[in-house]
Chain A
Amino acid sequence: MTKFEYAPAPESRSVVDIAPSYGLFIDGEFTEAADGKVFKTVSPASEEVLSEVAQAGAEDVDRAVQAARKAFEKWSALPGAERAKYLFRIARIIQERSRELAVLETLDNGKPIKETRDADLPLVAAHFFYYAGWADKLDHAGFGRRTTEGHSGANPRPLGVAGQVIPWNFPLLMLAWKIAPALATGNTVVLKPAETTPLSALFFADICRQAGLPKGVVNILPGYGDAGAALVEHGGVNKVAFTGSTAVGKAIARQVAGTRKKLTLELGGKGANIVFDDAPIDQAVEGIVTGIFFNQGQVCCAGSRLLVQESIQDELLDALKRRLSTLRLGDPLDKNTDIGAINSAEQLARIKALAETGEAEGAERWSPACELPSSGYWFAPTLFTNVTQAHTIARDEIFGPVLSVLTFRTPDEAVAKANNSQYGLSAGIWTEKGSRILAVANKLRAGVVWANTFNKFDPTSPFGGYKESGFGREGGRHGLEAYLDV
């Protein structure tokens, strides 16, 4: 078969102007850290330094929380319709600047432009647009009636200052998931982006400026874990929202114990993608690929465990391997790139170590022929067969482009294996039989179940985990609850 090579098709970098340095965004102003600390943010695809960013410490956290407290009075007293209009403005400005933000995100995160352009940015704008519309309709959201403790009564009230800590895998999208519902419900925000991806949050600060958002309503504090911990700990914070690892989530749950702080956690996962013998194989293969290789597998709801019915294992794996051989890994800014860079050297080391553990424990490793660029952080799409439930790679979240393949014989066995995990965030089901979809979906202990599809997101659709994948939901009417005193 003739193979047609692709010509390079890079998206232009000139659409985004990255300043050599950025400050913290507190009370509507960019400012240096109190102790003057800065850190560098690099492009994971090339290790090029993109910018130098102020690094928040405890003192800055205090300043930001004070600013948010002060802003809360007026912001929460605004008519919902006015808050809504600010959010609609933000949504529109994001749409206007979406190409710039997509390129920026791809540079800072390493994910393919195809994804930031077609998934991240449209979802970010949609999320703000969705929650904007809630701001003046909270009385109709069904949270009004809680009379036993003299709480909300007829009108649900905001909580106050929300301290939000977000991860690096979907920097701007996670920001949207946190900030949009918080502002719609009348809270003010102090948000800490991840240390490897601070830039899009700082660009968002500029969007707040363009939208004329009152000072102190949104504060952005780039920094490390210590700043996140200081934020969670701060007495002026009424609400803590965290997306990230289960280990940190547990530490935060301990930190807020005994306080009145409301907590929502969106943590790790080890999603089972179950393929039955009557599944449409070609669609299932596409779904498996989307499930584990979207965003280099750095997705909490990734379908990282493939459970395939024994009778079709060979057929499915052959098709899957054929498909993986066509994936294009390389320059994230190239519009034809399917697999971008791993976000950081640290994450790459973690993925490598877990893959080595997989081999050491006896699973069989396979990757397509795939040339990795000489600079930057890269990991080839990887598939493990002969995996058992006891293997580390079947239990621990790898957060990388690594798929563990297990088999089953009966639907009951598939469900038992799928649920045999500390996590419960996502799952997939592939079968043409409707009643089987419903029966299996009903038995799976996971917050999101994709049947004959995978990794679909929408602002109207609640997202969040069972068990150690966290609690609370983001998205939809459900997502309001996390930010209301109900």
Chain B
Amino acid sequence: MSDRLSVLKTYKLYVGGKFPRSESGRVYEVTDSKGKWLANAPLSSRKDARDAVVAARKAFGGWSGATAYNRGQILYRVAEMLEGRKDQFVREVADAEGLSRAKAAVVVEAAIDRWVWYAGWTDKIAQVVGGANPVAGPFFNLSTPEPTGVVAIVAPRESSFLGLVSVVAPVIATGNTAVVIASEKAPLPALSLGEVLATSDLPGGVVNVLSGKAAEIAAPLAAHQDVNAIDLTGADQELARELEIAAADNLKRVLRPQAVDGEDFTADPGTHRLTAFLETKTVWHPTGSLGASGSAY
């Protein structure tokens, strides 16, 4: 071991593909599970939240318009980039969640595999939840899922990385863009994920990561008229209720937090997080009635 003094990283937000500090200039102290100082993370303001929504909206047209194949390739690229930086995330998750290196490695590997799982879903979900409808008339009728739009995500409080990936990946897999509020007490893996996303060909603004007080940042997002949906997974019961009330103002789609003991992110994720932020569009067109007179041959 050398005596070399290590170079610390200034953790920054990830908004619109860039790494700004909070416009407020505020930071808060992030410690490991034993109280040891790890970093000063940006304490995001409501202005940061609004800026993130602008970035997410700007990115929505391109990302939702990209081919599902392309989105799948990019999500897979995220897994590739993470694999290469696994050691860093194992260290950060171990610090954040008080896990041993071995246990943290299991968590990080599961998170990498989750990106792979959702990468594969991008060009399959439409066939699973959409399709032709056999209407009783001479019409072609097709239902197709489409992304809801800009989704605000209150990321899980405890599962700072696997939980985070489990809520972000399904939202963007289908073409939504996201504003994510990282775990308040353990935001560093989320902020580092921003660095991975920035180098994975993911267009800027598709995922925007904010750190700070969940209640402070989530409130303006829940009330924001240009946010289409909100995932309350990381909100406690009282906050979730307040946010759901605010979200009713423009009828955001709301994914409520699950049972009190929280969600088991190691389990098979299923498809409900994909479908929670999809709209169904049904298109009709007359078919005409060629050969209706009965002499096809």
**A contacts, CB < 8 Å to B:** 126, 142, 145-150, 246, 249-251, 253-254, 257-258, 260, 265, 267, 422, 437, 441, 444, 446-453, 456, 458, 460-464, 466-468, 470-471, 473, 476, 478, 486
**Are A142 and B128 interface neighbours, CB within 8 A?**
yes
Do B141 and A453 touch across chains, with their CB atoms under 8 A apart? no
Does the CB pair A456–B136 fall under 8 Å? no
A460 touches B134 (CB 8 A): yes
A-B contact pairs, 18 of them (CB 8 A): A142-B129, A145-B271, A147-B268, A148-B268, A148-B272, A253-B251, A422-B250, A441-B281, A441-B283, A449-B282, A452-B285, A453-B286, A460-B134, A461-B282, A462-B143, A468-B250, A476-B143, A478-B280
Q: Which of A147, A258, A476 lies in contact with B240, CB distance below 8 A?
A: A258
Q: Which residues of B contact A451 (CB under 8 A)?
A: 283-285
Q: Nearest chain-A residue to B239 (Cβ)?
A: A258
Q: Which residues of B contact A253 (CB under 8 A)?
A: 244, 247-248, 251
Residues of A within 8 A of B87 (CB): none
> Quick check: is B201 within 8 A (CB to CB) of the other chain?
no
| Cβ-defined contact, B249 with A250, below 8 A | yes
Contacts of A260 in B (CB 8 A): 256
Cβ B268 vs Cβ A467 within 8 A: no
What does the 1/0 interface line of B265-297 toward A look like (CB < 8 Å)? 001111110000001111111100000000000
Interface SS, B side: mixed
Q: Are A453 and B139 in contact (CB under 8 A)?
A: yes
Q: B124-147 vs A: 1/0 string, CB under 8 Å?
A: 000011000111110101010000
Q: How far is the CB of B110 from chain A (nearest CB, A)?
A: 13
B5 within 8 A of partner (CB): no
> With an 8 A cutoff between CB atoms, is B228 at the interface?
yes
CB pair B285–A464 under 8 Å, yes or no, is no
Chain B residues with CB under 8 A of A441: 281, 283
- Most chain A Cβ neighbours within 10 Å, of B148, B240, B256, B283: B283
A120 to chain B minimum Cβ distance, whole angstroms, is: 15
Assess the B284–A246 pair: CB atoms within 8 A.
Answer: no
Cβ of B241 under 8 Å from chain A: yes
* A interface secondary structure, majority: loop
Q: Which residues of A contact B157 (CB under 8 A)?
A: none
Judged by a CB distance under 8 angstroms, whether B264 is at the interface is yes
Check A257 against B281 for contact (C-beta < 8 Å): no
Residue of A nearest to B266 (CB): A148
Contact status B270-A462, CB under 8 Å: no
B285:A462 contact, CB within 8 angstroms? no
Known interface pairs A246-B251, A249-B251, A258-B241. Does A456 touch B282 (Cβ–Cβ under 8 Å)? Answer: no
Given contacts A447-B280, A468-B250, A476-B133, contact A452 B286 (CB under 8 A): yes
Picked from A422, A437, A456, the residue with its CB within 8 Å of the CB of B139 is: A456
Partner of B258, one of A149, A254, A476: A149
Query: Could you say which residues of chain A place their CB within 8 Å of the CB of B250?
Result: 422, 467-468
Q: Does B1 contact A (CB under 8 A)?
A: no
A362 CB to nearest chain B CB (Å): 27
- 8 closest A-B pairs by beta carbon, nearest first, are A258-B241, A253-B248, A257-B244, A458-B135, A460-B133, A451-B285, A257-B245, A449-B283
Chain A residue at minimum C-beta to C-beta distance from B263: A148
Of the candidates A148, A250, A265, A267, the one having the most CB atoms from chain B within 10 angstroms of its own CB is A148
B281 touches A468 (CB 8 A): no
User: A451 — nearest CB in chain B belongs to which residue?
Assistant: B285
CB contact list, B222-274 vs A, under 8 A = 228, 237, 240-241, 244-245, 247-251, 253, 256, 258-259, 263-264, 267-272
Nearest B residue to A267 by beta-carbon distance? B251
Q: Which residues of B contact A265 (CB under 8 A)?
A: 251
Contact A145 B143 (CB under 8 A): no
Q: A148-B263, A148-B269 are in contact. Are A461 and B279 (CB under 8 A)?
A: no
Give the contacting residue for B282; candidates A142, A453, A462; CB below 8 A: A462
- The residues of A that contact B135 with a CB separation of less than 8 Å are 456, 458, 460-461
Identify the closest chain B residue to A434 (Cβ).
B285
From A148, A254, A257, A453, B267 is in contact (CB under 8 Å) with A148
